[in-house]
Chains A and B, each alone.
Chain A
Amino acid sequence: MSKARTSLTRTSLVHLALISYAIISVFPVFLTIINSMKDRNAIFRNPMQLPSPKTFDLVGYYTVLGQGDFANYFQNSFIVTVASIALVLLFGAMAAFALSEYRFRGNTLMGLYLAIGIMIPIRLGTVAILQGMVATGLVNTLTALVLVYTAQGIPLAVFILSEFMRTVSDDLKNAGRIDGLSEYSIFFRLVLPLVRPAMATVAVFTMIPIWNDLWFPLILAPSEATKTVTLGSQIFIGQFVTNWNAVLAALSLAIFPVLVLYLVFSRQLIRGITSGAVK
């Protein structure tokens, strides 16, 4: 009897703690979005109130869409992210297959060499990366960003994917070999489809830091034509500091795609982290 009661109190305390922290996590985002849809007076007078018909105002969004070239920024971010993920997955999976499938001299050494990048951030090489990009004329191109992000993503991709590729059955691959498949078809037609879940995990892990990165766009591609969303909103907000409507609207616009993607994929994402990352 008393035991049941203590466990009830404990469960409620746990829920209380979790709810409080969940509110702390979500509240700032919520606050930004509701205030972005209010007029200037309401933002300052009643920041905590939901927009009502009287205070509803989209002036901030008009300013943002009229002033900033956000469609272009989105396009840049999108191109860079998709191209980098595609290259990371392709090159990473190929290298992971070579390392996990074949025995050859230097296998371990190559594995360790590729693993350095998991721990040592690519940012530390920025000085020479910029130099190299200037020398090859790639400064202020999206190619520069794609190259950097591909290099940045490969180590973790190889690490996670080779763990998964070790679990693909040998009999299947050998059956393919007996049927006369080349090593390339075995990789592309047998192994790749089987590690698709792991590829999804890697894609998510690769995507978040690329989409959110500020450092490399700032240094390698700050021109108007190549700005990414992250850099674009940083500069836009910097210029409009005193126009709270515009700032809040710009923030909401930047949150929105991430929020939608997250709500759609959160289950896969969390499953990916809890199963794939810790080995």
Chain B
Amino acid sequence: MSDTPSTHDATGPIIKRPTRWHIVVFLLPAFIVYSAVMILPLIETLRLSLFNTVDGQSTFVGLANFKVLFGDERWAHDFWNALKNNFVFFAIHMLVQNPMGVALAAMLSLPKLRFASFYRTAIFLPTLLSFVIVGFIWKLILSPIWGVSPFLLDVVGLKSLFAPWLGRPNSALIAVSLISVWQYVGIPMMLIYAALLNIPEEVIEAAECDGITGWSQFFKIKLPLILPAIGIISILTFVGNFNAFDLVYTVQGALAGPDGSTDILGTLLYRTFFGFQLQLGDRSMGATIATVMFLIILAGVSLYLFVIQRRMRRYQF
């Protein structure tokens, strides 16, 4: 981060200078746009969560909105359902996407592997596609009308396993999460791949001299060295998942069907704030949900920065 002291103050002893206006000029545009469009609205949203319309007037209501969101029967069911689904969504990413990313990266980084750049290009491709494309392609492929997935399952002799996964309340969330995993596995793969390439040759050679090769080399030597990178992809996954909206919206619509089984905080925020079909948009409750999302993400990021990252051992080469 930018808090490392600048090491190149080669100008010698600091001389008292007049105000250096160019520093202001350099910083100002970024500062203004970032503050006006990002930070202030964020603060304003947090503030709005403490207000609600009473008799047509915006009034300070303290934490009443949160009480309604957590406890009122009209809201609480949707909210806890979305929160639970969001944790399931995150858990599937952590259990499937990240180990798979690590495995793919480990295979790609084997020395003298041919076609490595071809594999990399192919596996990273879905990451670049928009959610609209990804969502609809998979909707078509998994659709029982088209019959592509029963056909493919038949090829490997598993046709009996086919079900309209996206249409069933107990499998829809898993199906949507796996689609998202399919799309994003390229990112952990690339970051881990880069981390693996950064391991110096000597370390690997030393391990080989000690007779540590293959699996045990990966688990005993490489894995500990790439733990910081795994930490980074975990927190990126966390932030991305608790902020997700687009894929569920394109695959299952704003109602996140069937029966709300794929509803996550992002879609709940959209429906609440913007309104959908018969439901009217509610600014205060929208701000309340956004605030809860903010607090969850903040908690995750703080946990990472102040606990996990500090405890993690970093190796300097």
Chain A residues packing against B (C-beta within 8 Å): 10-11, 14-15, 17-19, 21-22, 24-26, 28-29, 31-32, 43-44, 47-48, 87, 90-92, 94-95, 97-104, 107-108, 110-117, 119-129, 131-132, 147-148, 150-152, 154-155, 158-159, 162, 166, 170-171, 174, 182-184, 187, 208, 211-215, 219, 230, 233-234, 237, 244, 247-248, 251, 254-255, 258-259, 262-263, 266-267, 270, 273-275, 277-278
Contact = CB atoms under 8 A, between A and B. Distances in A.
Contacts of A219: 274
Contact of B301 (A110, A119, A126, A170): A119
B75 interface: no
A175 B232 CA distance: 39
Nearest to A6: B214
Given A14-B107, A124-B243, A127-B273, A258 B128 contact: yes
Given A22-B119, A47-B147, A104-B23, A212 B129 contact: yes
Contacts of B216: none
A47 B30 CA distance: 50
Contact of A273 (B29, B117, B151, B194): B194
A274 B128 contact: no
B30 A29 contact: no
B96 interface: no
Nearest to B305: A119
Interface stretch (B78-86, B217-225, B291-299): B291-299
B137 A274 contact: no
Contacts of B9: 103
A contacts with B: majority SS: helix
A267 B117 contact: yes
A267 B120 CA distance: 10
A29 B129 contact: yes
B30 A120 contact: no
B90 interface: no
Q: Which of B41, B124, B243 has the most CB of A within 10 A?
A: B41
Contacts of A114: 2, 30-31, 34
A7 B209 CA distance: 18
Contacts of A21: 104, 119, 123
A90 B246 CA distance: 29
Those 8 A-B pairs whose CB atoms lie nearest each other, nearest first: A111-B2, A125-B41, A128-B44, A98-B26, A128-B41, A212-B130, A151-B37, A95-B30
A254 B294 CA distance: 32
Contacts of A187: 26
A121 B239 contact: yes
Contacts of B113: 11, 14
B265 to A, nearest CB: 10
B104 A214 contact: no
Contacts of A10: 214
B286 interface: yes
Contacts of B119: 18-19, 21-22
Contacts of B194: 273-275, 277-278
A117 B2 contact: no
Contact of A97 (B26, B48, B245): B26
B110 A108 contact: no
Contacts of A262: 121, 125, 128
Contacts of A14: 107, 110, 113
A237 B136 contact: yes
B175 to A, nearest CB: 14
A275 B198 CA distance: 9
Given A18-B108, A125-B290, A230-B132, 7 more contacts: A21-B123, A114-B34, A127-B41, A159-B2, A214-B249, A273-B194, A277-B194
15 contacts: A10-B214, A25-B186, A98-B23, A101-B6, A124-B294, A126-B286, A127-B273, A158-B30, A166-B7, A208-B128, A214-B249, A237-B136, A247-B140, A254-B130, A273-B194
A129 B34 CA distance: 12
Nearest to A101: B6
Contact of A255 (B27, B36, B129): B129
Contact of A234 (B43, B122, B127, B250): B250
Contacts of B133: 233, 251, 254-255
B20 interface: yes
Given A183-B22, A247-B136, A154 B128 contact: no
A40 B310 CA distance: 59
B301 A124 contact: no
B7 to A, nearest CB: 8
Contacts of A29: 125-126, 129, 137
Given A29-B129, A124-B243, A132 B41 contact: yes
Contacts of A129: 37, 41
B61 to A, nearest CB: 16
Contact of B118 (A22, A90, A102, A110): A22
Interface in B168-227: 182, 186, 190-191, 193-195, 197-198, 214
B130 A127 contact: no
